[in-house]
Chains A and B, each alone.
Chain A
Amino acid sequence: MSDKHKPQPMVDEISDFEVLETAVRELAIEKGLFSAEDHRRWTEYVHTLGPVPAARLVAKAWLDPEYKKLAVKDGVKASLAVGVDWINSPPTGFGTPSDYCNLRVLEDTPKLKHVVVCTLCSCYPRPILGQSPEWYRTPNYRRRLVRWPRQVLAEFGLQLPPDVEIRVADSNQKTRYIVLPVRPAGTEGWTEDQLAEIVTRDCLIGVAVPKPGVTTNEKRPVRPAVHPVHHDH
């Protein structure tokens, strides 16, 4: 019998994970560890996040050599210019508990290309870049990138000449990184908006480089969630 002919379930199935999520959340609120208001505020904060501020930081740095110097020297201060205060933007007032307050901006040059991973888990510069991709959290990416960066990057469609230094940054402590790629040819005279549009999330991780005309991450299979989050705000 094919899947098509199976009867539809009468009710939405609730997974063990969802049962436990409700149990933990209700217990924490009942015991006063955090409030329902805290939970809502955090979710709303997360909904404000995405890769746009980091892309804008890169575009600004391409257009302003002084700002680029600041970005490379003090990523936390440079983030303020794109509306991201690593300390005060999160609801805590002391940075997010898991992303900390030490952004570093890794500047690529024609002879140096950075790519970022967290081999120990999935550390990622969420306040300025949003949620990490699923593949970034996989044991596969975490195991392989540090040792075979050229092979992994080639799978992403990115190849660089042998004399270009590929530098892998492993985010293992309190620093989080974004990559400041080289401004591509064919973008002469472009505005900040135009430049920011080609700096995708993948460029900011380092698995892609910006290209005129390419304004989205490369298409890859998307595994659907059973009960997906709806961003209908």
Chain B
Amino acid sequence: MSKSQHDRTHHAKKATGIGDPQCFKGEAGSAKFKVGDKVRIRDLPDLFYTRCQVYTRGAVGTVVALVYESPAAEDEAWDNTDKPEWFYSVKFRQKDLWPEYHDVYANDTLETEFSERWLEKA
């Protein structure tokens, strides 16, 4: 994985005229989850970097969209872009995130995205 020098043309060559994350389309293989699936957010180690918010760990939500394919931020932030994965938009009931969320507002929800590694079947 270690690269002696950062290739300053790689990203532009890959994405020009295409866009990011469009340039990773088709590189993640088959998606493990589909819209409607109940998923639990895994509590993976987050030493040095993550974009999976701590407030979602262990919570169960519903996949509402497969949004795109892309390297996970945890890889891309260190210039490792060779293993794209599926990204999912997941909706949670607020009650399932915050213990004090009031029953009066039981319909309230929160939606945010996860790469596939963060999800397990609930």
Q: How far is A101 from B17 in the complex, measured between Cα atoms in Å?
A: 11
Given A94-B15, A95-B20, A101-B22: A174 and B87 within 8 A (CB)? yes
Give the secondary structure class of B's interface.
mixed
Q: Which residues of B contact A111 (CB under 8 A)?
A: 107
Does chain A have a CB within 8 A of B28? no
In chain A between 145 and 200, which residues have their CB closer than 8 angstroms to a CB of chain B? 146-147, 149-150, 162-175
Q: Which residues of B contact A67 (CB under 8 A)?
A: none
Name the one of A166, A169, A175 contacting B105, with C-beta atoms under 8 angstroms.
A166
On whether the beta carbons of A165 and B108 are closer than 8 Å, the reply is: yes
Q: Mark B19-30, 1 if CB is under 8 A from A, else 0.
A: 111110000000
Of B11, B98, B101, B108, most A-chain CB atoms within 10 Å: B108
On whether the beta carbons of A94 and B23 are closer than 8 Å, the reply is: yes
Name the one of A94, A147, A166 contacting B20, with C-beta atoms under 8 angstroms.
A94
On whether the beta carbons of A94 and B111 are closer than 8 Å, the reply is: no
In the complex formed, the residue of A with least CB distance to B103 is: A162
Q: How far is A175 from B8 in the complex, measured between Cα atoms in Å?
A: 24
In the complex formed, the residue of A with least CB distance to B88 is: A173
In the complex formed, the residue of B with least CB distance to A173 is: B113
Does chain A have a CB within 8 A of B78? no
Does chain A have a CB within 8 A of B115? yes
Does chain A have a CB within 8 A of B81? no
On whether the beta carbons of A87 and B108 are closer than 8 Å, the reply is: no
Does chain A have a CB within 8 A of B122? no
On whether the beta carbons of B53 and A87 are closer than 8 Å, the reply is: no
In chain B between 82 and 122, which residues have their CB closer than 8 angstroms to a CB of chain A? 87, 89, 91, 94, 97-98, 101, 104-105, 107-115
